[in-house]
Structure 1
Amino acid sequence: MSGIQRIEIDGRPYVLLSEEDYEDMIDMIDTIEAQAIMARIAAGEETWPHELVVELMSTDSRIRTYRTYRGMSVSELAAAAGISQPYLSEIENGRKTGSVDVLRRIAAALRVELDDIAG
Protein backbone atom coordinates (compact mmCIF):
# COMPACT_ATOMS: atom_id res chain seq x y z
CA MET A 1 0.00 0.00 0.00
CA SER A 2 1.22 3.44 -0.82
CA GLY A 3 -0.04 6.96 -0.94
CA ILE A 4 -2.01 6.84 2.30
CA GLN A 5 -2.71 10.30 3.68
CA ARG A 6 -3.96 11.37 7.08
CA ILE A 7 -6.32 14.31 6.88
CA GLU A 8 -8.59 16.22 9.22
CA ILE A 9 -12.07 17.39 8.32
CA ASP A 10 -14.08 19.45 10.79
CA GLY A 11 -11.66 18.45 13.54
CA ARG A 12 -12.05 14.72 12.92
CA PRO A 13 -9.15 12.55 11.70
CA TYR A 14 -9.57 10.54 8.48
CA VAL A 15 -7.37 8.36 6.33
CA LEU A 16 -7.39 8.90 2.58
CA LEU A 17 -6.18 6.14 0.30
CA SER A 18 -6.47 5.25 -3.34
CA GLU A 19 -9.21 2.94 -4.55
CA GLU A 20 -6.53 0.40 -5.50
CA ASP A 21 -5.11 0.45 -1.96
CA TYR A 22 -8.63 0.15 -0.55
CA GLU A 23 -9.35 -2.90 -2.75
CA ASP A 24 -6.03 -4.47 -1.67
CA MET A 25 -6.97 -3.92 1.97
CA ILE A 26 -10.40 -5.51 1.45
CA ASP A 27 -8.77 -8.49 -0.29
CA MET A 28 -6.44 -8.96 2.71
CA ILE A 29 -9.37 -8.85 5.14
CA ASP A 30 -11.32 -11.37 3.02
CA THR A 31 -8.29 -13.67 2.97
CA ILE A 32 -7.88 -13.47 6.76
CA GLU A 33 -11.59 -14.17 7.31
CA ALA A 34 -11.51 -17.11 4.88
CA GLN A 35 -8.47 -18.56 6.65
CA ALA A 36 -10.26 -18.28 10.01
CA ILE A 37 -13.30 -20.09 8.61
CA MET A 38 -11.16 -22.84 7.11
CA ALA A 39 -9.35 -23.26 10.44
CA ARG A 40 -12.71 -23.74 12.22
CA ILE A 41 -13.75 -26.32 9.64
CA ALA A 42 -10.39 -28.11 9.96
CA ALA A 43 -10.94 -28.15 13.74
CA GLY A 44 -14.20 -30.02 13.21
CA GLU A 45 -16.86 -27.31 13.01
CA GLU A 46 -19.79 -28.65 11.02
CA THR A 47 -20.89 -26.92 7.84
CA TRP A 48 -24.33 -27.06 6.27
CA PRO A 49 -25.03 -27.74 2.61
CA HIS A 50 -26.87 -25.03 0.70
CA GLU A 51 -29.90 -27.28 0.15
CA LEU A 52 -30.33 -27.76 3.90
CA VAL A 53 -30.11 -24.04 4.57
CA VAL A 54 -32.74 -23.33 1.90
CA GLU A 55 -35.01 -26.03 3.34
CA LEU A 56 -34.60 -24.65 6.87
CA MET A 57 -35.75 -21.22 5.69
CA SER A 58 -39.00 -22.57 4.28
CA THR A 59 -39.86 -25.61 6.40
CA ASP A 60 -42.76 -25.83 8.79
CA SER A 61 -40.71 -28.19 10.99
CA ARG A 62 -37.03 -27.55 11.57
CA ILE A 63 -36.90 -30.67 13.74
CA ARG A 64 -38.13 -32.84 10.87
CA THR A 65 -35.69 -31.16 8.47
CA TYR A 66 -32.70 -31.79 10.74
CA ARG A 67 -33.92 -35.31 11.54
CA THR A 68 -34.17 -36.14 7.85
CA TYR A 69 -30.76 -34.56 7.19
CA ARG A 70 -29.26 -36.71 9.97
CA GLY A 71 -30.90 -39.81 8.46
CA MET A 72 -32.89 -40.56 11.59
CA SER A 73 -36.37 -42.02 11.79
CA VAL A 74 -38.97 -40.53 14.12
CA SER A 75 -38.52 -43.55 16.40
CA GLU A 76 -34.73 -43.17 16.48
CA LEU A 77 -34.89 -39.48 17.34
CA ALA A 78 -37.60 -40.04 19.94
CA ALA A 79 -35.51 -42.74 21.61
CA ALA A 80 -32.37 -40.57 21.53
CA ALA A 81 -34.30 -37.67 23.09
CA GLY A 82 -36.02 -39.92 25.65
CA ILE A 83 -39.56 -39.15 24.53
CA SER A 84 -42.29 -41.16 22.87
CA GLN A 85 -42.56 -41.39 19.10
CA PRO A 86 -46.16 -40.05 19.10
CA TYR A 87 -45.07 -37.04 21.19
CA LEU A 88 -42.22 -36.28 18.77
CA SER A 89 -44.63 -36.59 15.85
CA GLU A 90 -46.96 -34.09 17.50
CA ILE A 91 -44.07 -31.66 18.00
CA GLU A 92 -42.88 -32.10 14.41
CA ASN A 93 -46.41 -31.52 13.08
CA GLY A 94 -46.96 -28.42 15.21
CA ARG A 95 -49.73 -29.91 17.33
CA LYS A 96 -47.57 -29.58 20.49
CA THR A 97 -44.73 -27.21 21.24
CA GLY A 98 -42.70 -29.32 23.64
CA SER A 99 -41.13 -28.08 26.86
CA VAL A 100 -37.76 -26.37 26.82
CA ASP A 101 -36.26 -29.50 28.39
CA VAL A 102 -37.68 -31.74 25.67
CA LEU A 103 -36.56 -29.36 22.92
CA ARG A 104 -33.07 -29.28 24.43
CA ARG A 105 -32.93 -33.08 24.38
CA ILE A 106 -34.14 -33.16 20.77
CA ALA A 107 -31.54 -30.55 19.80
CA ALA A 108 -28.80 -32.54 21.55
CA ALA A 109 -29.87 -35.74 19.77
CA LEU A 110 -29.76 -33.87 16.45
CA ARG A 111 -26.40 -32.29 17.35
CA VAL A 112 -27.68 -28.75 16.84
CA GLU A 113 -28.28 -25.77 19.11
CA LEU A 114 -31.68 -25.23 20.71
CA ASP A 115 -32.02 -22.00 18.71
CA ASP A 116 -31.60 -24.02 15.51
CA ILE A 117 -34.82 -25.94 16.08
CA ALA A 118 -36.82 -23.34 17.99
CA GLY A 119 -36.17 -20.45 15.58
Structure 2
Amino acid sequence: MARKQTTIATQFITTATGDRLAVVPEAEYQRMIEALEDRADAEAVRMFNQRLADGKEELIPAEFANRIINGESQIRVWREFRAMPARELAEKAGISAGFLWQIEKGERDGSFETIKKIAAALAISMDDLG
Protein backbone atom coordinates (compact mmCIF):
# COMPACT_ATOMS: atom_id res chain seq x y z
CA MET A 1 0.00 0.00 0.00
CA ALA A 2 1.44 3.37 -1.04
CA ARG A 3 1.77 6.04 1.60
CA LYS A 4 0.12 9.36 0.99
CA GLN A 5 2.66 12.16 0.92
CA THR A 6 1.67 15.03 3.23
CA THR A 7 3.03 18.52 2.86
CA ILE A 8 3.69 20.18 6.20
CA ALA A 9 4.92 23.70 6.77
CA THR A 10 8.12 22.82 8.57
CA GLN A 11 10.95 25.03 9.71
CA PHE A 12 14.40 23.64 10.47
CA ILE A 13 16.61 25.14 13.14
CA THR A 14 20.23 24.30 13.86
CA THR A 15 21.22 24.69 17.50
CA ALA A 16 24.54 26.04 18.72
CA THR A 17 25.69 22.44 19.30
CA GLY A 18 24.83 21.47 15.72
CA ASP A 19 21.60 19.57 16.41
CA ARG A 20 19.08 20.02 13.64
CA LEU A 21 15.51 20.51 14.90
CA ALA A 22 12.25 20.46 12.97
CA VAL A 23 9.52 22.88 13.98
CA VAL A 24 6.03 21.80 12.95
CA PRO A 25 2.59 23.24 13.66
CA GLU A 26 1.13 22.05 16.97
CA ALA A 27 -1.87 20.40 15.25
CA GLU A 28 0.52 18.35 13.10
CA TYR A 29 2.57 17.41 16.17
CA GLN A 30 -0.61 16.20 17.91
CA ARG A 31 -1.57 14.18 14.80
CA MET A 32 1.86 12.51 14.80
CA ILE A 33 1.58 11.66 18.50
CA GLU A 34 -1.88 10.15 17.95
CA ALA A 35 -0.57 8.13 15.00
CA LEU A 36 2.24 6.75 17.16
CA GLU A 37 -0.22 5.83 19.91
CA ASP A 38 -2.52 4.16 17.36
CA ARG A 39 0.43 2.18 16.03
CA ALA A 40 1.38 1.06 19.56
CA ASP A 41 -2.23 0.06 20.25
CA ALA A 42 -2.40 -1.90 16.99
CA GLU A 43 0.82 -3.74 17.90
CA ALA A 44 -0.56 -4.59 21.35
CA VAL A 45 -3.71 -6.01 19.76
CA ARG A 46 -1.64 -7.99 17.26
CA MET A 47 0.48 -9.45 20.07
CA PHE A 48 -2.61 -10.33 22.13
CA ASN A 49 -4.25 -12.03 19.15
CA GLN A 50 -1.07 -14.03 18.56
CA ARG A 51 -0.97 -15.12 22.23
CA LEU A 52 -4.66 -16.02 21.97
CA ALA A 53 -4.02 -18.09 18.83
CA ASP A 54 -1.06 -19.78 20.56
CA GLY A 55 -3.24 -20.69 23.54
CA LYS A 56 -1.30 -18.39 25.88
CA GLU A 57 -4.26 -16.05 26.43
CA GLU A 58 -7.87 -16.76 27.17
CA LEU A 59 -11.08 -14.79 26.90
CA ILE A 60 -13.74 -15.09 29.56
CA PRO A 61 -17.33 -13.93 29.21
CA ALA A 62 -18.26 -10.57 30.73
CA GLU A 63 -20.52 -12.35 33.24
CA PHE A 64 -17.47 -13.92 34.90
CA ALA A 65 -15.23 -10.85 34.54
CA ASN A 66 -17.91 -8.67 36.13
CA ARG A 67 -18.17 -11.03 39.10
CA ILE A 68 -14.43 -10.62 39.70
CA ILE A 69 -14.66 -6.84 39.24
CA ASN A 70 -17.51 -6.76 41.76
CA GLY A 71 -15.29 -8.41 44.39
CA GLU A 72 -16.43 -12.02 44.29
CA SER A 73 -13.83 -14.67 45.10
CA GLN A 74 -11.58 -14.98 42.07
CA ILE A 75 -10.97 -18.64 42.86
CA ARG A 76 -14.71 -19.39 42.93
CA VAL A 77 -15.34 -17.45 39.72
CA TRP A 78 -12.52 -19.23 37.85
CA ARG A 79 -13.63 -22.60 39.26
CA GLU A 80 -17.19 -22.02 38.09
CA PHE A 81 -15.97 -20.73 34.72
CA ARG A 82 -14.05 -24.00 34.36
CA ALA A 83 -17.23 -25.85 35.42
CA MET A 84 -15.16 -27.59 38.07
CA PRO A 85 -16.79 -28.83 41.26
CA ALA A 86 -15.13 -27.65 44.47
CA ARG A 87 -14.17 -31.21 45.44
CA GLU A 88 -12.38 -31.70 42.13
CA LEU A 89 -10.43 -28.45 42.48
CA ALA A 90 -9.52 -29.25 46.07
CA GLU A 91 -8.30 -32.70 45.04
CA LYS A 92 -6.23 -31.31 42.16
CA ALA A 93 -4.72 -28.68 44.46
CA GLY A 94 -4.02 -31.20 47.22
CA ILE A 95 -6.15 -29.49 49.86
CA SER A 96 -9.39 -30.36 51.61
CA ALA A 97 -12.71 -29.25 50.15
CA GLY A 98 -13.48 -27.52 53.46
CA PHE A 99 -10.27 -25.48 53.28
CA LEU A 100 -11.04 -24.50 49.69
CA TRP A 101 -14.54 -23.46 50.74
CA GLN A 102 -13.06 -21.29 53.53
CA ILE A 103 -10.63 -19.66 51.09
CA GLU A 104 -13.43 -18.97 48.61
CA LYS A 105 -15.59 -17.44 51.36
CA GLY A 106 -12.68 -15.27 52.54
CA GLU A 107 -12.71 -16.89 55.98
CA ARG A 108 -9.12 -18.11 55.64
CA ASP A 109 -6.13 -17.11 53.56
CA GLY A 110 -4.25 -19.75 51.70
CA SER A 111 -0.48 -19.75 51.76
CA PHE A 112 1.40 -18.69 48.66
CA GLU A 113 2.06 -22.35 47.86
CA THR A 114 -1.61 -23.26 48.30
CA ILE A 115 -2.76 -20.45 46.01
CA LYS A 116 -0.08 -21.46 43.51
CA LYS A 117 -1.45 -25.04 43.52
CA ILE A 118 -5.01 -23.76 43.09
CA ALA A 119 -3.95 -21.58 40.15
CA ALA A 120 -2.18 -24.53 38.53
CA ALA A 121 -5.24 -26.73 39.04
CA LEU A 122 -7.38 -24.06 37.35
CA ALA A 123 -4.81 -23.68 34.54
CA ILE A 124 -4.40 -19.95 35.20
CA SER A 125 -1.49 -17.76 36.29
CA MET A 126 -1.02 -16.38 39.77
CA ASP A 127 -1.66 -12.95 38.23
CA ASP A 128 -5.20 -14.09 37.42
CA LEU A 129 -5.78 -14.52 41.16
CA GLY A 130 -4.06 -11.27 42.17
TM-score by length of 1: 0.72
Alignment partners' CA distance in 2, 1:102 and 1:112: 14
How far does the alpha carbon of each residue in 1:40-66 deviate from its partner, in whole angstroms, 9 at most, with x for none? 322332234433332211133111011
Equivalence for 2:9 = 3
Aligned AA for 2:83?
Answer: G
Is this contact kept in 2: 1:3–1:18, CA < 8 A?
A: no
Query: Is 2:108 the partner of 1:103?
Result: no
Aligned AA for 2:93?
Answer: A
Is this contact kept in 2: 1:4–1:16, CA < 8 A?
A: yes
Equivalence for 2:88 = 76
Q: 2:117 is paired with a residue of what secondary structure?
A: helix
Deviation at 1:19, TM superposition (A): 2.2
Residue identity (%): 34
TM-score by length of 2: 0.67
Deviates more, 1:66-75 or 1:27-36: 27-36
Is this contact kept in 2: 1:74–1:88, CA < 8 A?
A: yes
How far does the alpha carbon of each residue in 1:19-54 deviate from its partner, in whole angstroms, 9 at most, with x for none? 256335514532442233233322332234433332
Equivalence for 2:43 = 35
Larger Rg belongs to:
2
Q: 1:29 is paired with a residue of what secondary structure?
A: helix
Task: Please give the root-mean-square deviation of Cα atoms over the aligned residues, in Å.
Answer: 2.9
Is this contact kept in 2: 1:107–1:113, CA < 8 A?
A: yes
Q: 1:91 is paired with a residue of what secondary structure?
A: helix
Deviates more, 1:72-81 or 1:38-47: 38-47
In structure 2, the gaps of 5 or more residues are: 1-5, 14-20
